[in-house]
Structure 1
Amino acid sequence: MPLPPLNIYRHDRRTRALITLAGEIDLETAPLMRAALERCLRDGMRTIDVDLTPVTFCDCSGLNAFIEAFLRSTAAGGTLRLHYPPPMLVRMIDLTGCGSVLMGLPAVPGPDLLQDPLSPVLVPLPVACSGTLRRIAPAVSGGAL
């Protein structure tokens, strides 16, 4: 059974990029996402916002790719932030303690996060990144990278 595709859209404004991911992020599609995030850095983007609103699934390979992208963007003097992650990714971020790194959350969770750790964390996207998105990568179905 083929996996649902992952679509990647990118909108640039000066040195800021908004990447919108739609579909599933897993072992088969994480390399495509990783390449898109690395391309942002090569293109001179220093602030990368990743909108995860349309993501239906993300496993640990996706989380690993986000952490790697964060480390690379930080090494290049930039930032990477995740916005509107799906509940399963919020849970993995909570379990690994990397919310302060990936989502700009306080290092010590506040009372809101302690009440319901499975509720999605809503971090608003910057207004500067709103606008029309262009698709930068074709849909990838299971195994066809």
Structure 2
Amino acid sequence: MNHGVPPPAGHLRSYRAHGRTVIEFHGEIDIAAALTILPVLDAATAPHETLIVIDLTPVTFFDCSGLALLCRARGRLEAQRGELLLVCPQPLILRMLRILGLTARFHPAPTLPDALHDGRPARELS
């Protein structure tokens, strides 16, 4: 995975933090962006990963295509007893999650440190 360098499409960046894969979505996350993000997200949620963090902080637009990406990643991780952590300080995205009744499923945190240090046992964070 590229560390700190967005791919040519510019819609995501992935890196490791606290021993976990963090995937930052960037810019406008619509159907066109989702098509470029999907293969990377599927690779990141492969059976060897147990916890993935998706950070929506750099997102400027987010529609149902982005929501579908989140739901797919969460479902793939849960199928292998993994977990998806979501970082989302974006009021409009939080509102979308709330309206759709998904806030309780995703438990969005306002920052990456908040997502990684939310009371989990230390062994789960290393």
TM-score, normalised on structure 2?
0.73
Give CA-to-partner distance per residue, 1:75-105, whole Å, 9 cap, x none. 011111210242221111011111111226x
Q: 1:11 and 2:1 equivalent? A: no
Q: In structure 2, how many angstroms separate the alpha carbons of the residues matched to 1:14 and 1:39? A: 20
What root-mean-square deviation, in Å, do the aligned CA atoms of Structure 1 and Structure 2 show? 2.5
Distance in 2 separating the partners of 1:22 and 1:34: 14
Q: Show the counterpart of 1:122.
A: 110
Alignment partner, residue 120 of structure 2: none
Gap regions ≥5 residues in structure 1: 105-120, 130-145
Q: Judge conservation of contact 1:9–1:20 (CA < 8 Å) in 2.
A: yes
Q: Give the drift of 1:6.
A: 4.0
Q: Does 1:74 align with 2:64?
A: no
Give the Cα–Cα distance (whole angstroms) in 2 for the partners of residues 122 and 13 of structure 1: 16
Q: Give identity over the alignment, percent.
A: 29
Hey, what's the Cα distance between the residues in 2 that align with 1:102 and 1:37?
Answer: 16
- The one-character-per-residue Cα deviations of 1:27-47 (angstroms, maximum 9, x if unpaired) are 111122222221112272210
Aligned residues of 1:21 and 1:52 also touching (Cα < 8 A): yes
Q: Looking at secondary structure, tell me which structure has more helix per residue.
A: 2
Cα distance in structure 1, aligned partners of 2:14 and 2:28: 17
Unaligned runs of 5+ in 2: 1-8, 118-124
Provide the residue aligned with 1:62 in structure 2: 66
Q: Which has the higher contact order (CA 8 A, sep 6+)?
A: 1
